Structure 1
Amino acid sequence: MTSARPGAVYRLTVAATAPDPAERMACVAPARNAVRTAAAAGWGVDGGVLDDLVAIAGELLANAARHTGPARIRALLVLEECGGRLRFEVEDQGAALPCTVDGFGDDRAESRRGLLMVRGLSDRWGSRSTVTGKVVWAELDLPAPLDVAGIAAWARQGAARADYMRAAIMGADPVRKPTCRRAREKN
């Protein structure tokens, strides 16, 4: 994580638990789309930064699904407190840290090209070992800071909607708390 404090965080867990690598890869597109939706609709990221973020997210998620075997992959999209930098990171159970080649070289090579793309699209990227595997991350500097307070409000509203929907699905009747005025009228 960068030295700055996070201003907003979007968490995503991808269940890439199929034994077949092709089946694990099927989870990448929906996860990439979830990142796009959160960044665009919830945070207001757009244009080239959104395109770069989605390409980076897709590559890092695909690498985790392809190279680590059946597992749950955890991803974070983090907006720093100042609102000027996005960070996308993927945590998996694979022990081997990624490496890139210096150039494309052999046109028939099918590996390590994605990390060249990540390196080219991001302002910074890297990896670190963890107790359970590794984290691979990439950062994008934003051309203008995002509204961190507005994003936090969007996240709270989304959590409230999710709680309401969970209660409805479970058959509970979600009860709204009365406002102070209504509570006084009943007394």
Structure 2
Amino acid sequence: MKVIVGLGNPGSEYAHTRHNIGFEVIDLLSNQFGISLTKTKFNALFGKGTVDGQELLLVKPLTYMNASGEAIGPLLHFFKLSAEDLLVIQDDMDLPVGKIRLRQKGSAGGHNGIKSLIQHVKTQEFARIKVGIGHPQHTHDAVVRYVLQGFSADEQMDIDSAMERASKAARAWMTLPFAQVMNTYNANK
């Protein structure tokens, strides 16, 4: 079984914000794969199905971004899965809007959702798809406001394209070595 987790914050006030791009990609995958997110357990909303002969869980933690690991750690334990079975889709302020970057492992890089996952999964070695949301050129308070804003009309086409590429990369991860998926999608400008 494989697990794809999208990071975000629950609640309508956070829907379609920059910080919720992980949730947006999970919604896209849910529609593409016909997997409804109807189960709630471990403080996560998830759905289970089979895609390309592979059992798959699509997951949205309901813990808020900064505590994402509190949901994912117990979920992996319950299903007897390891970090090798995990793909996380996250926002990344260090990438321009609409760019994606795949990483096989690494530190949190200042992302509190990833920091929580590392703490609860007890390793930095899990696959990630980072979706660029851009970065404001201001203070910390501006960063907090920025990630909780939606995308401008000019940015929306780029972000839609990035979400589509992220969904294709996630599907490829299910059946191909992640190094091969990284070579394909990191090279795709």
Q: Normalising by structure 1, what TM-score?
A: 0.28
